[in-house]
Amino acid sequence: MTRVCLNVLLGIPGSGKTTYCQQLAVLPSRSFEVVHVCYDCFIKIDENYDKFRDASGLYKLHRHKLLSHVERIILHMKRNDQPKLQEVLARWSDEFGHELNISTQTMASDVVFLIDDNNYYRSMRTEWQKIARKLSIGYFETFFDTSLSIAVQRNRARAQPIAEEVINHMWMRLEKPSGKLYDHELEPAVQPMKQSTVHKIDIILRKLISKKIGEARESMVSSQQLQSYVKVLQERKKFVLEQIRKCELNVSEEKMDRYVEELF
């Protein structure tokens, strides 16, 4: 029976996810096959972000279709059911206008499915966790913790760059994986955090923002660009603070600064 593992990637556009997949696919010493599920190829979420975000249910509908197709593909691979697998792959091509490359050689080997998407909300990753449990397959996440400035710089070098406001929005709303904040990223703790701790974290976040602004001054072309960056940092701070406030954070005083910086 084919052994399958889901490698769910998360990170903003320009963080290096697709490059990672491409390099892994050509790695000569690997002992497993790779199936690259690149959302940019099948759903074009980055380029049409406003459309997917604003249209009622459209974003979730497309994600659900892709997720359901991958689930059926893995099921038939585990059962070594070639006819059923080919049926699902044909429907995949009809649905997304792009083939998913799965060869006969893939069927005879251990397989890692690379879920190449931004996955910036925990709920997006949870969907894949549920499939892994249901099908009794492996699961792990790879987080591309790239700074916003580097991601924007890489994006500008693309042949078809994504709108920078899209990258800014995803960075502001990115729910980073955290074992201290969430238990295996499943459910947040129900007890709210003490106000005194929230105040300490707020001070740490303010210092981080000041530090990042200082680092960015030299590279920013105009004051307008800097003001826009400051606004993004403030929104990120607000979002991180909201996430932390909802949970019971079990971190010692001496480790608090470093931990908050990692979340930011």
> What is the pairing mode between strands 111-116 and 33-38?
parallel
Domain 4-185 has CATH 3.40.50.300: yes
Does pTM top 0.75 for this prediction? no
* pLDDT tens digit sequence for 146-165: 888 899 999 999 888 888 88
Encode pLDDT of 239-262 as tens digits: 777 777 666 555 666 677 776 777
Q: What are the extents of the domains in the chain?
A: 4-185, 197-263
Assign 188 a pLDDT band (cuts: 50, 70, 90).
very low
Q: Beginning with the edge strand found earlier in the chain, give each strand of the sheet holding 33-38 in spatial order.
A: 33-38, 111-116, 4-10, 138-143
Sequence-ordered list of residues with C-beta below 8 angstroms from that of 144, at least 6 positions apart, any chain: 9, 10, 11, 12, 15, 16, 17, 20
Contact 138, 5 (CB under 8 A): yes
Give whole-number Cα distances, 96 to 14, 62, 90, 114, 134, in Å: 23, 9, 10, 17, 25
pLDDT of residue 75: 92
> Which candidate, 77, 123, 141, places its Cα nearest to that of 103?
77
Mean pLDDT of the chain: 80
Mean per-residue pLDDT for 6-33? Answer: 92
The tens digit of pLDDT for each residue in 106-119 reads: 676 899 999 999 99
Query: Is 70 exceeded by the pLDDT of residue 218?
Result: no
Residues ≥6 apart with Cβ < 8 Å to 94: none
3-state secondary structure 142-192: EECCCCHHHHHHHHHCCCCCCCHHHHHHHHHHCCCCCCCCECCCCCECCCC
